[in-house]
Amino acid sequence: MVTVAKASAARTVLVSAVASGQGKTTATAALARRLIREGLRVRVFKTGPDYLDPMILRRASGAEVYALDLWMVGLEQCRRLLAQAAAEADVILIEGVMGLYDGDPSSADLARAFGVPVVAVLDASKMAQTAGAVVLGLQQFGPVDMAGVIVNRVAGTSHAQMVAESIRNVPNVPLLATLPRQQTSLPERHLGLVQPEEVEQVDRVLDQLAEQLELDMDAWNAIPLIAFDDALLASDAPGKPGLLAGKTVAIARDAAFAFVYPANLECLREAGAELRFFSPIADEPIPADADAVYIPGGYPELHCKELASAQRWRASVQAAHAAGMPILAECGGMMVIADTLTDAEGKAWPMAGLMPGQVVMQPRLAGIGMQSLTLPEGELRGHAFHYSILQTSAEPTAKTVRQKNGQPGEAVYRSNGLTATYFHAYFSSCPAAMARLFLPEAP
């Protein structure tokens, strides 16, 4: 008897552009909302390391947004995530990162790895007939399979017609949709888009985008479905059950500490950990039953006043550290366990003081890029992206390695159970190494 593998299929596209700032997130969010209004089930992914765009996309689609990255997440785990989405949804939208061919691996590499066609978002605010040339270049440089174009920031009907006529010169690439210039846009700050909770009437903005998206449903429905093997769903979960069995991990989660991959939380749960959440800016202490603490990144520099006055939170994390409890302080988490944090206005605020030194906000980006950290249990992959620097007398116990050139990256400080670094780890890249960070140090 021959067993035939079952496969789930979904209309799947990668939404990319010639560069950042073209409106990929806006277009992806608008398309997700619009297709949901058409009665379709929609799942959205984000290419590469990102925390803020996925928050907006999660709000737009109503479902969790996971990272896809051939290096950080890995080919097989990306395939598994896509198969799971195809089993649950009619449509899969993957928002790219930077420009279509930027990075190594690039968004184009991801699209080609899974046979996913590309939808190009084009900011037409300062062009008309040249639009076709840009689309042709995006299509042929790789090349990639181009499913269509979403033209963003269209000035009016005549402008839209000129752009449309230009795109018709590109063989087999339809104009999928247009979006007009927005009266209200999604605001940004130094790390990217603001969090959805900070946008007044965010759902109204997203609904307006969906309404203004002029979508050619015939062109959309002409995009072929892509099948993903259902057998992948039965493969072993990446968290390796038992690594953290019986352990309770307390996780800081509020407006200051929101940069957590949803896959990281799943990896902790799959490893057997029970998760407890608490809010440092609300002066909530670490839960009493915690065996370990995870302080992720976020925007602590915007909440210095609350954190500096959060006496119960500070006392609890100081006591946990004194007792040798495992603590992972990641980027923004490291910023609040130093002695002081100096905000963008130059004012220094007292922090938890678990390690000596001061964190100082910078006007320009201080660290960026894909990196890895090698521990005895294996290699954890992830990234760095920060606008502050740490001035400390402490000596790092290790340094990450930059994926791009193999050079040393972020410093990693480890002492009495504490691991502090600007490096954001993607836990599923090596669950055994992740688990080591949340277990007591060997005597």
Identify the bridge partners of residue 328 per DSSP, sorted by sequence position: 294, 419
Report which of 192, 194, 157 is spatially closest to residue 178, judged by C-alpha positions.
157
Helices and strands, number each (H, E), in the chain: 13, 25
Other C-beta atoms within 10 Å of 141: how many? 11
Question: Residue 428 in 3-state DSSP?
Answer: helix
The b/e string for 81-94 (b: 16+ C-beta within 10 A; e otherwise) is: bbbbbbbebbbbbb
Going by C-alpha positions, the residue among 27, 33, 30, 57 that lies closest to residue 45 is 57
Residue 384 in contact with residue 368, Cβ under 8 Å? yes
Please identify every residue annotated as catalytic.
Answer: 331
Residue type, 117: P
Residue 149, helix vs strand vs coil: strand
Q: What's the maximum distance between 2 C-alpha atoms anywhere in the chain?
A: 74
Adjacent-strand bridge partners of 251: 277, 294
Q: What own/partner pairs with CB < 8 Å and gap ≥ 24 does 407-413 have?
A: 409/367, 409/369, 409/371, 409/384, 410/367, 410/371, 410/384, 412/373, 413/334, 413/355
Nearest to 122 by CA among 86, 88, 166, 82: 166
Closest CA to 132 of 211, 124, 180, 109: 124
